[in-house]
Amino acid sequence: MSNTSFNFLADSFLFHEAEQGYKSRTLAELDDELNRYREYINEHQQEIDNEVSKKGINIIQDLERNSKLPTQDQLLQGCIFLDTYLVNDPVFDFNLSIEYHSNIARQSMGIARKSDDELKSELANYAIYMKSLTEGVRCDTEYIKFYPFGKVLRPESDYLFNLPDLSTDKIDKKIFSWFLEKVEVLNLNKDNQIDKQMATSNKIVLQFKNDTSSSVNIVQYQRMVSPQLNGNKLTFGLDYNYILSKDEYDNWVSQEKIKSIKDKLDLFLYRNMICRKFNSPLVLKNKFENEFFEMNFGDEKANNLYKLGFDLNFSGLKNMDFKKAMSVRREAKSSFKEFQKKIQKDSLILHSTKDKNEYKDVLDDIKQQYLHGTENVKSTLEISKDIVSSNLIPVVIGALSYFASPDPLNKVITGLSVLDLVGNIKKTIQEERRNPFYFLKKMVGSEYAHS
């Protein structure tokens, strides 16, 4: 199987009972199995690193704390030019302890808690997602690799009661000021509606201008209720309905801004570090991210190096069966490597464009080149197929008999000419199978590619 995580999951009920939604399992049983899985991953972390770091051209899914898993369309698009698509392991990332505390937070903000069945269903969907991509994980494909990014992206402890680090001494003042200008705070009323007329609130939304990459951050003010000693038992709790004074509100908002800025900065730096580690271009998704990385990592031209691969739109690709796509990658290895080289060169050309209009013109030109390339491959293979499927084979068989007969020399020469023609056809087909567009033609679909 090659992907270390699948060595565990293939034998675990996390895979085998996912389609039934773990109906026969308790949350405690699921929690135990998830903990066993996390322990297994931690023990084999070096093997997992070795699997993904040896590859040439990688890409990592969008890394956010609540990131969406890549769709099959995205994975199909990536498989035309990437060696490896690294995906955050959603089963590893699913932590029932964190979900328990999240339910407490949801209830405190007037949001319905997730039921046991909903939690089981969410985990089952993650397991089904991973299992459905087995063909991309296989050792003879080695395209998709699930990696435990959640070890860093999500806290392991009870984060509701952790004391946050509000120091900004280690943050460059210019960077901190830039973030501070971008952060926006909106007040929510008791019905969780944004109310710009409210001067204070015990529930706020924090977001960054022009940052469309993630969902907004909702924060509820939590005030510790004075502990009470009842016999030998100490009881305490949190008051979520406390009305803040203006000074308390301003101090709280200031702290939440710092936490949001540090949180976003840590994520950006982590993404940059992890992309360097795994030789992945850093895909920037919006104006907010572009501004930050131009300001801090503007000299790294690899940021959008292979963006071209995701901008090309081939009509037959979305309709391709995932299993079939992985089969094409296995069968057309040399052509796939040649296509990678071409798309890298074209990506550099695209990367040097000055504005959106020039980008579009260059992209359209490259796409036309690719379409012409696949049509040429189609025509060449079609002609070869027609010749081979005609009367040529019986003629060759007859020509071969000339070598064993006392017929005149001109007939032997005729026989050799036919054999040369067969050799040339075979050579043409072999050359086409090294043509970068042979791989692309097979990937978008062609009966001629099977010649």
Tell me the pLDDT tens digit for each residue of 157-186: 444 444 567 888 888 888 999 999 999 999
How many angstroms separate the CA atoms of 222 and 209, rounded? 26
Is 381 in contact with 442 (CB distance < 8 Å)? no
Q: Average the pLDDT over 253-278 and give the result.
A: 84
Distance, CA of 287 to CA of 213 (rounded, Å): 10
pLDDT for residue 248 is more than 70: yes
Nearest Cα residue to 322 out of 443, 439, 436: 443
Give the pLDDT band (50/70/90) at residue 95.
Answer: confident
Query: What confidence category does residue 252 fall into, taking pLDDT thresholds of 50, 70 and 90?
Result: very high
How far is the first Cα of the chain from the last one, in angstroms, to the nearest whole number?
Answer: 30
Neighbour tally for 83: CB within 10 Å: 21
Q: State the SS3 of the chain.
A: CCCHHHHHHCCCHHHHCCCCCCCCCCHHHHHHHHHHHHHHHHHCHHHHHHHHHCCCCEEECCCCCCCCCCCHHHHHHHCCCCCEEEEECHHHHCCHHHHHHHHHHHHHCCCCCCCHHHHHHHHHHHHHHHHHCHHHHCCCCCCEEEECCHHHHCCCCCHHHCCCCCCCCCCCHHHHHHHHHHEEEEEECCCCCECCCCCCCCEEEEEECCCCCCCCEEEECCEEEEEEEECCEEEEEEECCCCCCHHHHHHHHHHHHHHHHHHHHHHHHHHHHHHHHCCCCCCCCCHHHHHHHHHHHCCCHHHHCCCHHHHCCCCCCCCCCHHHHHHHHHHCHHHHHHHHHHHHHHHHHHHCCCCHHHHHHHHHHHHHHHHHHHHHHHHHHHHHHHHHCCCHHHHHHHHHHHCCCCCCHHHHHHHHHHHHHHHHHHHHHHHHCCCHHHHHHHHHCCHHHHC
Question: Which of 47-61, 197-211, 305-319 comes out lowest in average pLDDT?
Answer: 47-61
Average of per-residue pLDDT across 371-396: 68
Across residues 36-55, what is the average pLDDT?
85
d(CA 5, CA 150): 14
Q: What percent of the chain has pLDDT over 90?
A: 23
Higher pLDDT, 421 or 159: 421
Residue 214 has pLDDT above 90, yes or no: no
pLDDT tens track for 292-330? 877 776 555 444 455 677 888 887 887 788 999 999 988
Give the pLDDT confidence score for residue 226 in this predicted structure: 73
CA-to-CA distance for 307 and 353, rounded, in angstroms? 13
pLDDT at 350: 82
Q: What is the pLDDT of residue 400?
A: 52
pLDDT, position 43: 93
| Torsion angle in degrees (nearest 10) through CA of 358, 360, 363, 367 | -140
**CA dist 400 to 39, 392, 417, Å?**
67, 12, 11
- The confidence score (pLDDT) of residue 347 equals 83
Phi/psi-derived region of residue 215, left when phi > 0, alpha when psi is between -120 and 50, beta in every other case: beta
Mean local confidence (pLDDT), 22-31: 93
pLDDT at residue 388 greater than cutoff 80: no
At residue 141, the pLDDT reads: 81
> Which pLDDT score, from 0 to 100, does residue 348 have?
81
Going by DSSP bridges, is the β-strand pair 84-88/58-60 parallel, antiparallel, or unpaired? parallel
pLDDT at 24 over 60: yes
Work out the mean pLDDT of the chain and round it to a whole number: 79
pLDDT for position 63: 59
Q: Choose from 42-51, 246-255, 301-310, 430-439 the range with maximum mean pLDDT.
A: 246-255
Contact of 309 with 80, CB cutoff 8 Å: yes
**Pick the residue with more confidence: 229 or 19?**
19
pTM of the model: 0.69
| Pairing, β 84-88 against β 144-147 | parallel
Query: What's the CA angle centered on 426, arms 424 and 431, to 5 degrees?
Result: 90
